[in-house]
């Protein structure tokens, strides 16, 4: 049996490159609570991403939970059903009511007109997702937020390093939240971050991620333990040295897929976004009615050959038991999201994916049935 090929695998630099970092941690005897590697990574990530204020977290979900606390969000939050469950779960954990709206079938991001239609007197915020790293319509969303006095928190888990119109996509909205999970383009084993607009907001974030402590004896708010450890930060520093090469390799794989699927009946690659420097976080295809077998049958076929694609995002969050009782989960309200969820299949894309493995995947998708 051939080795498994997963939809994504973390890039792991040579172990000997990590050893000096571990030795330094052992020498420092400083394992957490904002140690030297933590401080260095915050600085270097902010510089790399083109932002001024960044706070590291133990993972992206805790960062989402904290972002909502930072802005004191209440009532209803408009969001997407087409995402990983952490997006909506962060709302429930804060006692908020998710209001799901449909997506644009071209970008898979929230449709701005649907956002405006969903606003009620109880709406206080919008939580869009830059799905697959494709920028949301940030200008229109901000216009809506300004008109109705709403906060905007971007779930930017897929958007590490993405630039839109020449600047970091993370600069849009009131806050942007990143994930550095092992499956992401850039990872710290587990980790995340919040990008904030000013030093005052960053200070509040940093209080909240450390139980609310402002100093040794002063607790400012009911915070949480969201701190990133020194080992995770050290790995992040090492990853940052390789990230441009990692992105370039993913770009080559993306281009191979796009060229190979051009003209294949029933297989559609998502449109490349305009004015965007991408980092190629995923490679989704849509399996349409003209394809000889269903999306699920193709998923099974690949799995039988040890190729583990993923149906990101199926089922929709709105179909899960804890959400499907909400009025906004009515299928007629989410027609495009349901359509895409039934067709989408994310193919393997990671730096060490060989050209031979790519050709094997291509042959299985375009070959005889």
Residue-wise pLDDT for 193-238, tens only, equals 999 999 999 999 999 999 999 999 999 999 999 999 999 999 999 9
Q: Would you list the domain boundaries of the chain? A: 15-101+108-239, 244-366
% residues pLDDT > 90 (the chain): 98
Nearest to 60 by CA among 246, 173, 195, 222: 195
Write out pLDDT tens, residues 284-321. Answer: 999 999 999 999 999 999 999 999 999 999 999 999 99
**Under 8 Å between Cβ of 364 and 307:** yes
What's the pLDDT at 262?
A: 94
Domain 15-101+108-239 identical in fold to domain 244-366:
no
Write out pLDDT tens, residues 134-182. Answer: 999 999 999 999 999 999 999 999 999 999 999 999 999 999 999 999 9
Please compute the mean of the pLDDT values over residues 69-93 and round it to a whole number: 98
**Under 8 Å between Cβ of 181 and 10:** no
Question: Distance (Å, rounded) from C-alpha 82 to C-alpha 286?
Answer: 14
* Average per-residue pLDDT for the chain: 97
What's the pLDDT at 369?
A: 63
Q: Which fold has domain 15-101+108-239?
A: 3.40.640
What's the pLDDT at 1?
A: 45
Q: Which fold has domain 244-366?
A: 3.90.1150
User: Would you state the structure tokens that stand for residue 226, as one six-digit string?
Assistant: 């969201």
């Amino acid at each position: 049996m051939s080795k498994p090929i997963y939809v994504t695998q973390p890039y792991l630099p040579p172990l000997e490159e990590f050893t000096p970092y571990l030795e330094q941690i052992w020498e420092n005897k400083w394992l957490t609570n904002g140690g030297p590697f933590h401080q260095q990574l915050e600085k270097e990530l902010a510089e790399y991403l083109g932002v001024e204020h960044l706070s590291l977290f133990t993972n992206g979900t805790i960062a989402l939970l904290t972002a909502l606390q930072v802005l004191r969000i209440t009532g209803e939050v408009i969001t997407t059903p087409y995402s990983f469950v952490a997006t909506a779960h962060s709302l429930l954990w804060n006692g908020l009511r998710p209001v799901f709206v449909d997506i644009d079938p071209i970008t898979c991001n929230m449709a701005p007109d649907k956002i405006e239609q969903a606003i009620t007197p109880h709406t206080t915020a919008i939580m869009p997702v830059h799905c697959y790293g494709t920028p949301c319509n940030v200008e229109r969303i901000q216009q809506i937020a300004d008109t109705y006095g709403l906060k905007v928190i971007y779930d930017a888990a897929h958007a590490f390093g993405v630039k839109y119109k020449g600047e970091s996509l993370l600069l849009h909205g009131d806050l942007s939240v990143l994930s550095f999970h092992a499956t992401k383009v850039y990872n710290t084993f587990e980790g995340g971050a919040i990008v904030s607009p000013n030093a005052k907001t960053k200070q509040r974030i940093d209080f909240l991620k450390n139980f609310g402590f402002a100093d040794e004896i002063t607790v400012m708010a009911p915070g949480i333990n969201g701190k990133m450890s020194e080992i995770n930060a050290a790995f992040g520093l090492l990853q940052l040295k390789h990230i441009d090469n990692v992105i370039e390799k993913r770009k080559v794989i993306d281009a191979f897929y796009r060229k190979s699927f051009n003209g294949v009946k029933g297989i559609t690659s998502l449109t490349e976004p305009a004015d965007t420097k991408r980092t190629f976080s995923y490679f989704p295809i849509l399996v349409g009615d003209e394809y000889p077998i269903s999306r699920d049958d193709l998923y099974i076929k690949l799995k039988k050959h040890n190729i583990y694609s993923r149906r990101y995002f199926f089922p929709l969050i709105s179909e899960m038991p804890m959400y499907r009782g909400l009025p906004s989960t009515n299928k007629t309200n989410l027609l495009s999201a349901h359509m895409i969820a039934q067709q989408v299949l994310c193919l393997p894309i990671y730096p060490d994916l060989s050209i031979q493995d790519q050709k094997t995947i291509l042959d299985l998708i375009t070959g005889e049935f």
